[in-house]
Chain A
Amino acid sequence: MSEHLPALLVVVPLILAPVAALSNRPRAAFAAAFAGCWWALYASLALLTRVRSEGVISYALGGWAPPYGIELRLDLVNAFVAVTVATIGAVVIPYAWTSVKKEITEDRIPLFYTAFLLMLSGLLGITVTGDVFNVFVFLEISSLSAYSMIALGQDRRALTATFQYLIMGSVGATFIVIGIGFMYVMTGTLNMADLAERLPAVMDNRTIPVAFTFLTVGITLKLALFPLHLWLPNAYTYAPSAVTAFMASTATKVSVYLLLRFFFTIFGFAFAFGQMRLNMVLMPLSLVAILAMSLVAIYEINVKRLLAFSSVAQIGYMVLGISFGSVLGVTAGLLHIFNHALMKGALFMAMGCVMYRVGSVQLSKMAGLGKKMPWTMAAFVGGGLSLIGVPLTVGFISKWYLVQAALEQGNWLVAGLVMIGSLMALVYIWKVVEVAYFQEADSDVEIREAPLSLLIPTWVLVIASFWFGIDASTTAQVATDAAELLLRGGS
């Protein structure tokens, strides 16, 4: 059984999706989603353990040898990302039960869990596959399900946000498939490893930079790298709480993984960074993302939107790490994928708790919440500390690696800008803390602490963000090994 784990990781949640739809009862659909998420967590952890001990796992679907059939190929990089996605899924799903009951009408709940499972399996499918067209197929599954879940937000503006995300996401996916098409035209293969082998022979053809362009634009659109992030803030703001928490912690991360996979494994580090100088594009954009988006977050008064802009800035950190093109830098990027998933998940879940009790996440509505919802706001502060990068939190580990990577290249300016970014994070987190703890609440509004079913998952992520900040040895080791693997240009 265990040799089938690469396929089962994806297809078990996938088959549970129609099962959840067919059951047509909230409780049964939830059970299916819960089973799917925890199965994914188990399978991804088992796979990561196996990859660490045995090296790359290749799984030939249908028994057809690659490149003729489709291959699932797991190395440290995508096993790590799969664990990230599955972890968040497993934590968010129990949270979703209570949160969704409040925010979504009951007759929609079974289909909601169906969409949730589809999104999970879509993201996992993108992560584990070794075939570029397959990437596109699962990208469609995850995107379509994400659109429909975002549209369920209580606010009418969720519909506009979804529409824009739909347009932009489709443009991104189309660009990716056009890029894949050009690569196929030049090589006749869709298998990643095979592509990496066959591309160098045709590198002198002008079609390759065109493919490269489409992939850059498509992927950076999907991962919301400034200035292609425009779809993100509204989508995160108006989606139901559980969806925001799940999406913010996984969807863009998987796109960051795609960036790594396409430009390091397939095109190869030497071509992408040496000849095409991808870092010349990524580094300035990520720096602007960090600074400009943090600044926007400082001025924002809707806390979910504030966190969404902060996400764009944090994505900047990941891409910045990658843009260094060094082991340290890519390690920082990979670590931040996992670390940011933990902290932003916790923060959005805390906001979900506020939404649950207060019905709004406007800053003005949060006055005095520090007293009324002490655990929720403490979780927010915990996640916020990590976002700022305080030692003993995961955020610190990421920033440490990032600054070390910058210093390694003598890039003092970038190192300084990263520190400034941290300060700006401090300001916007403080803004919320100030309102919640130091402003007097409306005394006539009765607000209780959020229910335990919401608090426990939130705190699991908060504690995890401290745990992996204190004992970063495992995550850092995996990320470093994965980064070395990527920079060696193969598997």
Chain B
Amino acid sequence: MTSLPPFVLFFVGALVVALTKGAVRKAVVLGVPLVGLGSLWMGAGQDVAASGPQLLYQLELIGYTLTPFRADKLSLLFGYLFHIAAFLGFVYALHLGDGAPDGSVAEDVGEDDVVGNGTATLQHVAAMLYAGSALGAVFAGDFITLFVFWELLAITSVFLIWARDSERSYATGFRYLIIHVVSGVLLLSAALMIAHRTGSIEFGAVPLQGAAGWILLLSFGIKAGFPLVHNWITEAYPESTPTGTVFLSAFTTKVAVYALARSFAGADPLIYIGTAMTFFPIFYAVLENDLRRVLGYSMINQIGFMVAGIGIGTAMAVNGAVAHAFADVIFKGLLFMSMGAVMTMTGRTKGTDLGGLYKTMPITATLCIFGAAAISAFPLFSAFVTKSMIMVAAVDEHHYIVWLFMLFASAGVLEHAGIKIPYFAFFAHDSGIRTKEPPKNMLVAMSIGAVLCVLIGVFPGQLYALLPFEMDYHPYDTYHVVTQMQLLVFGALGFITLVKSGIYPDEKRAVHIDAEVLYRRLGPWLVRTVGGAVARVDAAVRASVMGVVGSVLGAADRSHGQMGPLARSWPSGSMVLWVAILLAAYLLFYLWEFGL
């Protein structure tokens, strides 16, 4: 028994959502992911288990085979994940269109909270299409199909940013769109080259040699948030609506991780790119005040682990990468949801504006801590059973330095995501804000997320069974648990020291740190120097690129703009003169070619 391509259900669902209201719409947005998940599990899932990879609904296009639905273990895993993520996201966003949540929101919380019906429709439809596009991309069996959904991902998701309906979100969305369209064009370019070289457009492993491979890598890299092209993540996520960010965080980057795993498993450069990604965002994250942006940096950091795992390329590493992607969608979703809840109820996400919310939002605070524990890889939480696979694989393959960096980054995760997020939002100094728990559907969504985090952490076997490669791995041995606990304890100590000495997140006191733990001595210094250097280089590159672009555009405007010689109308006499000049030029050229 096979099933329809999963995106179909979502696209049809989007149409229905656009046309319905109220209870029917709510039933549809919740039903579509659940029905989709069920049909995928019972249909293609069983077929793959029984008889291996399935290529379905193939058709011919100008001599190439399009495969809109390729099901194998890798794509199925992401397929299930995206259904779950979509379900969580829609539960979380269910209150949209009901007017202000609970009617209790303070007057001055800004425009983001009172969501009218029009915006709600836009968000639901966009989210539905977005999730469908992500599924389409994951099940694409060829580069053309992939390209279509790749661009659709960009186009549909940008509406989630624009849904905030402010000048800034509009500008941000536009930049977001441009970089993703560029990514798509690069993907298409690479596909053309690959088709030209191999005669096939199958979306499979691509050797990292020649222009095609590198262009493809760059295309995937933009979506995955590789260093220097990562800015869209930290720019766009904080600009979206509270509910929109939950969707954004789930799909785009994970599709890129999937694509990398599909095409570039075992490509060495990915190890170093991934390591860099785990590493550099930490400095930004520590300095950042907007908590949703902190989560954006954390996102890059987590993807870094996955990218490095894919780069290592062994069965365990790739398994670890995709498993971590699975876990990440859920715990990062949970964190974004908790911050979204805070934002919905208070209208703020700045660390300095918040604090002390645990008094009025105890449930949200608790659930947030669950997410924080998961991302920090506490034993019995999801990241512990997934990230460790990547670390182990790194050691197995003798990438010790990489392993050290990842260890450091893991501590950094605890620092900026595990502790900073819940601490500044719910504890720290009391900001005096008194509010309520968010709407019930938000709490339900967060609870499901938290339960999943724990379930994966406690019963990793279910997840492991879904992984694409066979392996024998047990996360709960003494060595792992002890190592991780040590790391966590020292990480926590570091944070406490920093806060108590009054130097967090202010950076001027770094020299006074009494250092016993390697990362703690290095940390502040790195924050100041390396982080600063990265920021300076980044800014310089950006400024010079923008300078060049600006001057090119200026020149273009002069020659091609309304009154430029290429755009304005010419007098007839000049036109004819021009023809005569060309006639002479052609004549001379041809007589020359002819041999005079």
Contact = CB atoms under 8 A, between A and B. Distances in A.
B572 A391 contact: no
B590 interface: yes
Contact of B594 (A209, A214, A281, A422): A209
Interface in A378-417: 390-392, 397, 400-401, 403-404, 407-408, 412, 415-416
Interface of A: 160, 163-164, 167-168, 171, 175, 206, 208-210, 212-214, 216-217, 221, 227-228, 230-231, 233-234, 275-277, 280-281, 292-293, 295-296, 298-301, 309, 390-392, 397, 400-401, 403-404, 407-408, 412, 415-416, 419, 422-423, 426, 438, 470, 472-473, 476
Contact of A423 (B63, B185, B566, B572): B185
B151 to A, nearest CB: 7
Contacts of A423: 181-182, 185
B400 interface: no
A276 B594 contact: yes
Interface string B174-191: 000000011001001100
Contact of A292 (B63, B560, B562, B579): B560
B557 interface: yes
A422 B589 CA distance: 31
B145 to A, nearest CB: 8
Contacts of B562: 299-301
Given A277-B593, A391-B148, A407-B192, A419 B569 contact: no
Interface stretch (B102-110, B229-237, B580-588): B580-588
26 contacts: A164-B572, A167-B576, A168-B575, A209-B590, A213-B587, A217-B579, A228-B578, A230-B569, A230-B578, A275-B593, A275-B594, A276-B590, A276-B594, A280-B593, A281-B589, A296-B560, A296-B564, A296-B566, A298-B560, A391-B144, A397-B62, A404-B196, A408-B196, A419-B188, A419-B189, A423-B185
B571 to A, nearest CB: 8
Nearest to A274: B593
Given A404-B192, A407-B193, A391 B576 contact: no
Contacts of B181: 423, 426
Interface SS of B by simple majority:
helix
Nearest to A416: B189
Contacts of A233: 569
B147 interface: yes
B590 A213 contact: yes
Nearest to A302: B562
Interface string B51-91: 00000000011110000000000000000000000000000
B185 A422 contact: yes
Contacts of A408: 196
B582 A404 contact: no
A160 B61 CA distance: 46
Contact of B557 (A231, A299, A400): A299
The interface centre, meaning the residue of B148, B567, B582 with most chain A CB atoms within 10 A of its CB, is: B567
Contacts of B188: 419
Contacts of A298: 560
Interface of B: 60-63, 144, 147-148, 151, 170, 181-182, 185, 188-189, 192-193, 195-196, 211, 556-557, 559-562, 564, 566-567, 569-570, 572, 575-576, 578-579, 582-583, 586-587, 589-591, 593-594
B196 A295 contact: no
Nearest to B177: A430
B567 A299 contact: yes
Nearest to A403: B192
A163 B572 contact: yes
A393 to B, nearest CB: 10
Contact of A230 (B575, B587, B593): B575
Interface SS of A by simple majority:
helix
A309 B195 contact: no
Contact of B561 (A228, A299, A416): A299
B195 A404 contact: yes
Contacts of B583: 175, 213-214, 217
B62 A300 contact: no
Given A391-B148, A401-B62, A419 B196 contact: no
Contacts of A401: 62
Contacts of A281: 586, 589
Contact of B590 (A171, A212, A438): A212
A213 B587 CA distance: 6
A422 B182 CA distance: 11
Nearest to A407: B196
A299 B559 CA distance: 10
A227 B579 CA distance: 9
A316 to B, nearest CB: 13
B579 A221 contact: yes
Nearest to A389: B188
A419 B593 contact: no
A213 B591 CA distance: 9
Nearest to B569: A234
A275 B590 CA distance: 9
A209 B593 contact: yes
Nearest to B145: A391
Contacts of A419: 185, 188-189
A210 B583 CA distance: 10
Contact of B560 (A299, A301, A392, A473): A299
B218 to A, nearest CB: 13
Nearest to A471: B61
A217 B554 CA distance: 33
Contacts of B560: 292, 295-296, 298-299
